[in-house]
Structures are given as structure tokens and as C-alpha cells.
């Protein structure tokens, strides 16, 4: 067992993970395919929810990595690798998007000529909302993300063996370039893949709304994995409750940030009370959707807010694990709430489909597989990073 100067002892994650990941992924995908065969329209939307969830995890994690480099944070360096592993979803997006592109006409109303012609607003939007440009845009953005991912992660991994401090400097520059690109591209992704489901509606803050959710979700995933691994001794004994506290603090901050943005969007629409804006909320206030909407307020803000308010909770691994899982579920529910009500063939009514549950299973399986694979090839700690020691010594 090789031990490094910071005292990191590398241990393999249990082989069991591979089986678990593979079976989850296989079951999820298998059932998903059946879903596509039975009811492609409904299944495409279920798939879209999980796809957006994976986008959240991937790009949110890459954002956390870039943020750490750009602001020179050292407390999170000991577990930056975890976020790096999670960001490895990004290259897969190019494959995962294919079923959606094949089913675009099932998902997006604006792909239908008759619908576009029936609305002046949509006619005006055709310059942006048309199939070729949409595909180019989405693939282009995924490729740009991949490029940034590739360079940042490559430099980070190289450092493990070369210990070259200049690599950190290079990554600071790349990350600083990435953040504005990220801001614009995530807005475009949110607009394209979720807002355009109800193409007559528009909200300029929608991109920020999605951003707040992605980072929240990526933080929860990071917290959960850090605690799970560290409890079993895969990381470093110096990572302790003070690191957990800081992760909890960030989750708390993003809970409030999300609420701030979500409410800003709601308040303006509520105040102006214009039919073509309120319709979006009306669709989410009909029948059982009302319950889902209220559940969003509770699960996405009220509960995590009061839960994470306390200093003591943020210090306790067990309680943080619980809220991290809660947050992941809440984000999934939020995406569900953003995507589903707009489905016109639904008659804007709520209707549940078993396919909604299938894809998250496959998604989790995929994440486990990616994580297990990468953890076999690379260290779980960036052992060559000059900030690592300071990060391990971090105190409040």
C-alpha cells in the first residue's frame, strides 16, 4: 500500500460497487427501453428529467472544481477529486442526449409547424427555436464543457505524479475562463431543454433558477460521497467535522439562494399578472400539481432551511448524509416539476407513469459505475496539489 507524504493511504473501493452499479444501470435501462417502446412520448419526458439531473450533477460538479481553483480555496482541496469524478458525466452527455434528439417531436411543441403557426410569439422565435440550431447549440455546449472538463481534469491528474505547482496556476486560468462560459451556457441549456417545453412562456431568470439547483445538487452529491467514503476510511483521517460543517454551510447558502431566485421569478409574475406569464404557474396549480408545487416549497426550501440552520447539525456526519440525500431527491422533484406539467397531451393534468422512477435508477447506476471506474485509475485525493496540506489542516 503506497503511502504519500500527506499520509493518504490508497485503498480500492469494494468490488461490490461494480455489481451494484451495473445491476442498477441494467435494470433501469432495460425498463426504460420497454417504456420507450410502449409510450415514447411520456417516456421521453421521464428520460428528460433524469437527463437534466445528470447534467446538474456533471456541470455542477465541474463548476465546484473550477470555483475552487478560481478563488484559491483550500478547504475543499482534499475532496476535489470527488467532484472531478462526478464531473466525468459530462462526456457521456453527448451519448445520453441521443434518445432525446430522436424524440424531439415528442417533447417540444415548437417542433410542430401547426403549433408554431398558431402563435405570433412562436413565429417570432423561430430564428432561435428551430431544430437544426437547437441541435447545434446543445451539442456545441456539451462539447465546450467537455473541452474545459478535459483540460482542468487532465492538469489535476497530472499533478498527482509530477507535483508541478504550475499546473495549479494553469488550472486557475482555465477555470476563470470557464466560469463566464458556464454562466452563459447553463442559461442556454435551461432555456432550451426546459423552458422551451412551454415555448410561449419566458422568464429571463430561468437560467439562474436552474443554476442554483445544479450547484445545490452537486454539493449534496459531493457531501454524501465524501462522508460515505470518509467514514469507511477511504479518504483521510484529517477530514473531519469542520470540513463537513463547511459543506453543510454551502448547502445551506444555496438553499437560500434557490429560494431567493425561485421567489424572485414568482413574485414578478404574480405582480404583473399577465396571462401569458401566469399560465406557467397555472399549469402547476391545477389538480394534483398544486400538491407537487407546495411540496417543492417544502422540500426544496422550508425543510432544508430549518434543518441546516443549526450549527450542530452541520457538524454531524449522519445528519448531513440524510439532508444530502434529501436534497438530491428534492432537486429531482424540482426538475420533474419543471418538465412534466407542460406536457400538452396531458391536458395539463397530472399523470403518473412508472417510467418516472425507472430512469433515476439507471442514472444512479451510471454514476456509481463511473465513480468506481475512475477510482480504480486515480487517487481519491489530489496528492500532488500544493494546497492539499493546508486543506487537510483546515480549521474553522
Partner 1 sequence: MSENKNLNSVAALFDTPNKIINAAKKVKEAGYTKFDVNTPYPVHGMDKAMGLGQSKIGYVTLFFGFAGAIFIFLFMGWTMAINYPYIVGGKPLFPFQAFIPITFEVTVLCGSIATVVGMLAVFFNLPFLNHPIHDSNYIKEVSIDKFGVVIEAQDPIFERDKVTEFLKSLGGEKIEYINEPEKEEFKILQPKFILFLVVVAALTSFGTFITLNKLMYVVPFNWMDNQRKSNPQSETNFFYDGYAMRTPVVGTVAKEFMPYPYQGQAQPEVPLANPTLPTEQLLKMGQEKFLTFCSPCHGNYAQGVSRLKGQFPPGPTLHSAKIIGYSDGMIYNIITNGQNAMPSYAYQIPREQRWAIIDYIRVLQRAQNPNPSDFQAIKELNKESGKNAVN
Binding site for partner 1 (CB under 8 A): 263, 266-267, 270-271, 273, 309, 311-312, 394-396
Q: Which is nearer to partner 1, 39 or 389 (CB)?
A: 389
Q: Please, which residues bridge with residue 295 across strands?
A: none
C-alpha 169/C-alpha 175 separation (Å) is: 10
Closest to partner 1 by CB, 37 or 271: 271
Least distance (Å) between residue 395 CB and partner 1: 3
Q: How far is the CB of 393 from partner 1 (least distance, A)?
A: 8
Q: Report, in Å, the least distance between residue 254 CB and partner 1.
A: 16
Q: Is 3 helix (H, G, I), strand (E, B) or coil?
A: strand
Q: Minimum distance between the CB of residue 270 and partner 1, rounded to whole angstroms?
A: 5
| Shortest Cβ 149–partner 1 spacing (Å) | 32
- 215-251 burial, b at 16+ Cβ within 10 Å, e below that, comes to bbbbbbbbbbbbbebbeeebbbebbeeebbbbbbebb
Supply the minimum distance, in Å, between the C-beta of residue 286 and partner 1: 19
Grid cell digits, residue 42: 411520456
Closest to partner 1 by CB, 263 vs 352, is: 263
Q: How far is the CB of 212 from partner 1 (least distance, A)?
A: 16
Q: Is the CB of 108 or the CB of 258 nearer to partner 1?
A: 258
- Which residue reads 412534466 in cell numbers? 340
Q: How many residues does the chain have?
A: 396
Question: Which stretches of the chain are DSSP H helices?
Answer: 16-38, 40-71, 80-87, 89-96, 98-102, 104-107, 113-117, 120-125, 131-162, 165-193, 206-231, 241-272, 275-283, 289-296, 303-308, 311-315, 317-339, 355-377, 388-392
Q: Is the dihedral of CA 192, 193, 199, 202 positive or negative?
A: negative
Burial class from Cβ neighbours inside 10 Å (0-12, 13-18, 19+) for residue 151 reads: middle
Nearer to partner 1, 74 or 84 (CB): 74
Distance from C-alpha of 269 to C-alpha of 253, rounded to nearest angstrom: 25
Q: Which is nearer to partner 1, 144 or 249 (CB)?
A: 249
**Closer residue to partner 1, CB minimum distance, 266 or 373:** 266
Min. distance of Cβ 241 from partner 1 in angstroms? 11
Tell me the C-alpha distance between 236 and 231, whole Å: 10
Q: Are 209 and 261 in contact (CB under 8 A)?
A: yes
Nearer to partner 1, 311 or 352 (CB): 311
Amino acid at each position: 500500500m503506497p503511502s504519500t507524504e500527506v499520509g493518504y493511504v490508497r485503498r480500492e473501493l469494494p468490488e461490490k460497487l461494480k455489481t451494484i452499479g451495473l445491476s442498477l444501470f441494467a435494470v433501469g435501462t432495460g425498463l426504460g427501453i420497454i417504456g420507450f417502446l410502449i409510450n415514447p412520448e411520456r417516456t421521453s419526458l421521464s428520460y428528460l428529467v433524469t437527463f437534466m439531473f445528470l447534467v446538474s450533477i456533471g456541470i455542477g460538479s465541474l463548476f465546484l472544481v473550477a470555483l475552487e481553483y478560481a478563488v484559491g480555496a483550500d478547504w475543499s482541496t482534499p475532496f476535489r477529486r470527488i467532484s472531478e469524478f462526478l464531473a466525468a458525466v459530462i462526456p457521456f452527455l453527448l451519448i445520453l442526449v441521443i434518445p432525446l434528439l430522436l424524440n424531439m417531436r415528442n417533447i417540444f411543441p415548437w417542433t410542430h409547424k401547426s403549433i408554431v403557426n398558431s402563435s405570433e410569439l412562436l413565429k417570432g422565435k423561430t430564428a432561435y427555436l428551430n431544430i437544426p440550431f437547437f441541435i447545434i447549440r446543445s451539442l456545441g455546449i456539451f462539447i465546450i464543457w467537455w473541452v474545459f472538463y478535459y483540460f482542468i481534469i487532465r492538469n489535476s491528474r497530472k499533478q498527482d505524479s509530477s507535483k508541478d505547482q504550475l499546473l495549479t496556476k494553469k488550472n486557475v486560468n482555465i477555470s476563470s475562463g470557464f466560469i463566464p462560459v458556464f454562466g452563459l451556457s447553463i442559461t442556454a441549456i435551461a432555456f432550451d431543454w426546459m423552458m422551451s417545453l412551454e415555448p410561449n412562456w419566458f422568464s429571463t431568470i430561468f437560467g439562474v433558477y436552474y443554476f442554483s439547483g445544479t450547484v445545490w445538487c452537486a454539493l449534496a452529491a459531493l457531501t454524501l460521497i465524501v462522508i460515505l467514503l470518509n467514514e469507511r476510511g477511504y479518504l483521510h483521517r484529517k477530514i473531519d467535522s469542520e470540513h463537513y460543517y463547511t459543506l453543510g454551510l454551502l448547502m445551506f447558502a444555496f438553499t437560500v439562494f434557490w429560494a431567493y431566485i425561485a421567489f424572485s421569478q414568482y413574485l414578478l409574475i404574480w405582480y404583473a399578472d399577465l396571462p401569458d406569464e401566469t399560465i406557467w404557474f397555472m399549469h402547476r396549480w391545477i389538480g394534483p400539481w398544486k400538491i407537487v408545487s407546495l411540496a417543492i416549497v417544502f422540500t426544496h426550501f422550508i425543510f432544508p432551511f430549518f434543518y441546516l440552520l443549526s450549527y450542530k447539525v452541520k457538524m454531524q456526519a449522519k445528519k448531513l448524509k440524510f439532508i444530502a440525500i434529501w436534497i438530491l431527491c428534492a432537486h429531482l422533484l424540482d426538475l420533474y416539476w419543471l418538465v412534466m406539467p407542460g406536457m400538452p397531451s396531458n391536458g395539463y393534468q397530472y399523470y403518473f407513469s412508472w417510467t418516472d422512477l425507472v430512469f433515476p435508477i439507471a442514472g444512479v447506476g451510471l454514476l456509481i459505475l463511473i465513480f468506481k471506474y475512475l477510482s480504480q485509475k486515480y487517487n481519491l485525493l489530489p496528492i500532488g496539489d500544493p494546497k492539499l496540506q493546508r486543506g487537510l489542516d483546515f480549521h474553522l
